[in-house]
Amino acid sequence: MERGRLLMEFLGSSSSQSLLTSMKFAVLPIAKVFTMCFMGFLMASNKVNILPANGRKHLNGLVFTLLLPCLIFSQLGRAVTLQKMLEWWFIPFNVILATISGSLIGFLVASIIRPPYPFFKFTIVHIGIGNIGNVPLVLIAALCRDESNPFGDSLKCSEDGNAYISFGQWVGAIVLYTYVYQMLAPPPEGTFYVEDRDLPIKSPPTNNVAEKVPLLPPPEPQPAELITSKEGKIRGFLGYLYERLKLKQILQPPIIASILAMVIGAVPLLKRLVLTDDAPLFFITDSCLILGEAMIPCILLALGGNLVDGPGNSKLGFKTTAAIIFARLVLVPPAGLGIVTLADKLGLLPPGDKMFRFVLLLQHSMPTSVLSGALANLRGCGRESAAVLFWVHIFAIFSMAGWIVLYLRILF
Q: What is the pLDDT of residues 293-344, one digit of tens each?
A: 888 788 778 878 877 766 766 788 899 999 999 999 999 999 999 999 999 9
Q: What is the pLDDT of residues 78-93, one digit of tens each?
A: 888 888 889 999 999 9
Please state, rounded to an integer, the average pLDDT across all residues of the chain. 81
Q: Answer yes or no: are the C-beta atoms of 137 and 370 closer than 8 Å.
A: no
Residue 177 has pLDDT above 80, yes or no: no
**Binning pLDDT at 50, 70 and 90, where does residue 245 land?**
low
**Binning pLDDT at 50, 70 and 90, where does residue 346 land?**
very high
Using alpha carbons, select from 323, 353, 330 the residue that is nearest to residue 340: 353
Q: Answer yes or no: are the C-beta atoms of 38 and 304 closer than 8 Å.
A: yes
Q: What pLDDT is stored for residue 34 in this prediction?
A: 78
**Which one-letter amino acid corresponds to residue 121?**
K
Residue 128 has pLDDT above 90, yes or no: yes
Region at 246 (left for phi over 0; alpha for psi -120 to 50; beta for the rest): left
Task: Kindly state the greatest CA–CA separation across the chain.
Answer: 103
CA–CA gap between residue 169 and residue 184 (Å, rounded): 21
Residue 200 has pLDDT above 50, yes or no: no
DSSP H/E element including 329:
none
Which has more confidence, 174 or 335? 335
Residue 199 has pLDDT above 80, yes or no: no
The highest-confidence range among 52-61, 121-130, 165-174, by mean pLDDT, is: 121-130
Residue 221, number of CB atoms within 10 A of its CB: 7
Residue 82 dihedral angles phi and psi, to the nearest 5°: -60, -40
pTM, two decimal places: 0.76
Q: How many percent of the chain have pLDDT more than 70?
A: 79
Q: What is the pLDDT of residues 362-389, one digit of tens each?
A: 999 999 987 787 778 778 787 788 788 8
Residue 112, number of CB atoms within 10 A of its CB: 9
Which has more confidence, 193 or 5? 193
Q: What pLDDT is stored for residue 96 in this prediction?
A: 95
Residue 209 has pLDDT above 60, yes or no: no
Q: What pLDDT is stored for residue 3 in this prediction?
A: 46
Residues 6+ away with beta carbon under 8 Å from 185: 121, 379
Q: Which of 131-135, 150-154, 329-333, 389-393 has the lowest mean pLDDT?
A: 131-135
Domains in the chain (CATH in brackets) are: 22-192+242-411 (1.20.1530)
CA–CA gap between residue 314 and residue 387 (Å, rounded): 6
Q: What pLDDT is stored for residue 310 in this prediction?
A: 67
Q: Answer yes or no: are the C-beta atoms of 302 and 60 closer than 8 Å.
A: yes
Q: Residue 276 in 3-state DSSP? A: coil
Q: Answer yes or no: are the C-beta atoms of 368 and 130 closer than 8 Å.
A: yes
Q: Residue 203 in 3-state DSSP? A: coil
Give the rounded distance of the alpha carbon of 87 from its chain centre: 22
CA–CA gap between residue 48 and residue 301 (Å, rounded): 14
Q: What is the pLDDT of residues 395-409, one digit of tens each?
A: 988 898 899 989 988
Q: What pLDDT is stored for residue 202 in this prediction?
A: 41
Average pLDDT over residues 231-241: 69
Q: How many percent of the chain have pLDDT more than 90?
A: 31
Residue 5 has pLDDT above 60, yes or no: no
Q: What is the pLDDT of residues 247-301, one digit of tens each?
A: 666 677 888 888 899 899 999 999 999 998 899 999 999 999 999 888 878 877 8
Q: Answer yes or no: are the C-beta atoms of 127 and 327 closer than 8 Å.
A: yes
CA–CA gap between residue 255 and residue 52 (Å, rounded): 28
Q: What pLDDT is stored for residue 8 in this prediction?
A: 45
**Binning pLDDT at 50, 70 and 90, where does residue 192 land?**
confident
